[in-house]
A and B are shown apart, each in its own frame.
Chain A
Amino acid sequence: MSIPVGPAPAVEVLAAPHADPEALGIAETPAQQLWCSFRQERLAMFGLYVLCVLSVVALLGKLLTSWWVVFDPTTVRLPDKLLPPFSSASSTLPAELVPPFHVYPFGTDELGRNVFARMLQGSFVSLSIGVVAVSISLSIGVTVGGLAGFYGQRKFGPISVDSLLMRFTDVVLCFPSFFLILTVVALLPPSIYTIMIVVGMTSWMSTARFVRAEFLALREQDFVTAAKALGLPEWRIIFRHMIPNAMAPVLVSATINVAHAILTESALSFLGFGVRPPYATWGNILADGRAYIFDAPWLFSIPGAAILFVVLAFNLVGEGLRDALNPKLRKRVG
């Protein structure tokens, strides 16, 4: 292909920073641009590091507590109960019960179980519940909100699509969702999958409302009309042109929803409807610890701090993403 060189020398001077226009053009995909501007947000990068570390911990935890058991979270050692963090195992313990390195990094609980092992086991549950539940709620919310916003004016019998979908959203929003979750979890066999699905299906309403509001505004924007006038298919306009423009509030609400999902799981475990004991989650470690709040403060402070960190990290990443997705806030390098 021939690229005519700009005729005026002034053009050449302006173009100088990028000697090879083609290399410049093809090299930078939107994902790379997003990453470049995301990388400049220190707090967001911190959040991302925390999440990466926690994901590795969660996977390692699953590995080391379920498949290749180094840390056994269910071993009961009554002589070693309620030991503070970093205490060493007592010498009277039978050899098969001794924890790795003879030490309890996070102490032990009222049955002498290794809190470190229990936190490891729980990290997988808590993180995956947060992520999966929010993925479910995001997909439902974006779909419902997007449909209501884009096709809202179409009639479906006497009612418009918009009122149909949004009144349904209002109805779901009116349920006291925690009691709905409790009922469903009490009726269905208890498993983390049930909790993920139920939490996801009861937390999509705010996302749907955000997306609908954004879509209503975007639909009237000139660039959507212009995209139609360029002959782009409707799905492409929705997915490639409108959703990226509607993502900012959605991402922020998603990160808050992750936090909410983790806390909901904790609350369910706290009430005894969550993941069944002896399987540990951050929520039920926290719940068990409440009885020893003064005698063994590490039992609630360690899982509490872990939840706090995850929630904070998700929020920081969400905010960083929101800024990175907005080209007007991007700082140009070079």
Chain B
Amino acid sequence: MTATSADPLLAVRDLRVEFATDAGPLPAVRGIDFSIAPGEIVALVGESGSGKSVTAMSVMRLTEGRIAAGSIHFQGRDLAKIPEVEMRDLRGGQIGMIFQEPMTSLNPVFTIGRQIEEVLILHQRMNARDARAQALELLQRVGIPAPERRLAQYPHELSGGMKQRVMLAMAIACRPRLLIADEPTTALDVTIQAQILELLRSLQREFGMAVLLITHDLGVVAHFAERVLVMYAGKIVEQGSVRDIFKRASHPYTQALLAALPDPKNPGKRLAAIPGRVPSPSMLPPGCAFCARCPHTFDPCPTRQPPLFKVSESHQAACFLRE
């Protein structure tokens, strides 16, 4: 399917996630396939409501919605089916996760040290003394100044960037094989964003872990990721290497997204916007979900679901234009 190695770390097949509402099940993720090779950095891009966070939470099996169909194979086990106890071992152990809001992702009543130690004691069965030493080492690794002092501090005494570093320290505490980063830099200011991404990349190299980066920031994608999945209305509409996506975008949605980026060579220019809105999951057309906003809509678009067509060896797009 993708141009990655034969034995992926994570392989998601035909994943469908629904939310139960009074008006019946609402599909948030509508059958997506992707895989992540060990040590690979994959970005999942899309606008708000496209289902990217739901996808990430489904991999952790923490979504409020119901995994209606599909499989999530991680190191040979189907995460959609294994018992909760096994899943709990994987969370924080083999799969780490960091979130968008570092300000509220730490428990306000415990010190930083205790929160990091808790993970180590739980997953690595360390004693308190070893856990404390390891926590100190982790804080040093994520580049927090005066780590000894931070251990005894409370989250409200730390800045946002520092909290995100603490979150990272907790996520990598057990050397996960996969790190899911759900918009890790969205809540941070730009200089801190760059530092956190740099740190994320160096940790990724050091531990050889794969990263699934969820973002709507194409700038972050271009600098950080190796491969890109573009999501729209619960489906992957295009996937390929960073080069494929940025140089040869093949789906009109990706093209429109790229066109909406500010152009540094032409600073006074009005930014392009995509007309219309993301269709509500309850009123999706039977065909391509983007057809109402697409400048190239033709015959089959409103009625038939476009499959992923191969553009090149590493690059696919779900658009009839590429048929």
A325 vs B110: C-alpha distance when bound (angstroms): 10
Q: Mark B96-123, 1 if CB is under 8 A from A, else 0.
A: 1101010011111111011000110011
B123 touching A231, Cβ below 8 Å: yes
Contacts of A174 in B (CB 8 A): none
With contacts A3-B133, A22-B133, A226-B167 taken as known, whether A327 is within 8 angstroms of B108 at the C-beta atoms is yes
B145 touching A11, Cβ below 8 Å: yes
Contact check: which of A3, A30, A33, A230 meets B136 at CB < 8 Å?
Answer: A3
* Residue in A closest to B64 when the chains form the complex, CB atoms: A153
CB distance from B132 to the nearest CB of A (A): 5
* Residue in A closest to B87 when the chains form the complex, CB atoms: A231
Contacts of A25 in B (CB 8 A): 113, 132, 136, 148, 151-152
A277 sits at the interface (CB 8 A): no
A21 touching B151, Cβ below 8 Å: yes
B interface: dominant SS: helix
CB distance from B94 to the nearest CB of A (A): 9
B146 touching A14, Cβ below 8 Å: yes
B132 touching A225, Cβ below 8 Å: no
Contacts of A24 in B (CB 8 A): 148, 151-152
A6 vs B96: C-alpha distance when bound (angstroms): 26
A228 vs B92: C-alpha distance when bound (angstroms): 9
B107 touching A227, Cβ below 8 Å: yes
Please report the total number of B residues contacting A with Cβ < 8 Å: 47
* Residue in B closest to A241 when the chains form the complex, CB atoms: B107
Contact check: which of B60, B140, B149 meets A14 at CB < 8 Å?
Answer: B149
Contacts of B154 in A (CB 8 A): 327-328, 330
A171 sits at the interface (CB 8 A): no
CB distance from B294 to the nearest CB of A (A): 35
CB distance from A286 to the nearest CB of B (A): 41
CB distance from B212 to the nearest CB of A (A): 13
* Residue in B closest to A17 when the chains form the complex, CB atoms: B149
B148 touching A232, Cβ below 8 Å: no
Q: Mark A4-27, 1 if CB is under 8 A from B, else 0.
A: 101000110011011001101110
With contacts A1-B133, A6-B140 taken as known, whether A223 is within 8 angstroms of B97 at the C-beta atoms is no
* Residue in B closest to A244 when the chains form the complex, CB atoms: B109
B25 sits at the interface (CB 8 A): no
Q: Considering the complex, which residues of chain B in the window 54-85 have a beta carbon less than 8 Å from any beta carbon of chain A?
A: 60, 62
Q: Mark A290-334, 1 if CB is under 8 A from B, else 0.
A: 000000000000000000000000000000000001111010000
CB distance from B31 to the nearest CB of A (A): 25
B147 sits at the interface (CB 8 A): yes
B130 sits at the interface (CB 8 A): yes
- Most chain B CB within 10 A, of A3, A17, A18, A229, is at A229
B128 sits at the interface (CB 8 A): yes
**Chain A, interface residues (CB within 8 Å), range:** 35 or more
CB distance from B57 to the nearest CB of A (A): 8
A245 sits at the interface (CB 8 A): yes
Contact check: which of A14, A230, A327 meets B170 at CB < 8 Å?
Answer: A230
Contact check: which of A3, A17, A222 meets B101 at CB < 8 Å?
Answer: A222
With contacts A24-B148, A222-B105, A223-B107 taken as known, whether A229 is within 8 angstroms of B91 at the C-beta atoms is yes
Contacts of A30 in B (CB 8 A): 110-111, 114
Contacts of B252 in A (CB 8 A): none
Contact check: which of A4, A17, A327 meets B109 at CB < 8 Å?
Answer: A327
A326 vs B110: C-alpha distance when bound (angstroms): 10
CB distance from A325 to the nearest CB of B (A): 7
B90 sits at the interface (CB 8 A): yes
B247 sits at the interface (CB 8 A): no
B240 sits at the interface (CB 8 A): no
Q: A1-B133, A241-B110, A328-B156 are in contact. List 19 more A-B contacts (CB 8 A).
A: A15-B148, A21-B151, A24-B148, A26-B128, A26-B132, A33-B111, A221-B104, A222-B105, A225-B105, A226-B105, A230-B92, A230-B171, A231-B88, A245-B108, A325-B109, A327-B108, A327-B109, A327-B156, A328-B154
Interface residues of B (CB under 8 A from A): 60, 62, 88-93, 96-97, 99, 101, 104-111, 113-114, 118-119, 122-123, 128-130, 132-134, 136-137, 140, 145-149, 151-152, 154, 156, 167, 170-171
In the complex, the 7 A-B pairs of residues with the closest C-beta atoms, listed nearest first: A231-B92, A231-B91, A230-B92, A21-B148, A14-B146, A327-B154, A229-B97
Interface residues of A (CB under 8 A from B): 1-4, 6, 10-11, 14-15, 17-18, 21-22, 24-26, 28, 30, 33, 221-223, 225-233, 236, 240-241, 244-245, 325-328, 330
Listed by A's residue number, 11 A-B pairs whose Cβ atoms lie within 8 Å are A3-B137, A6-B147, A11-B146, A24-B152, A25-B132, A33-B111, A225-B105, A226-B106, A226-B170, A229-B91, A240-B118
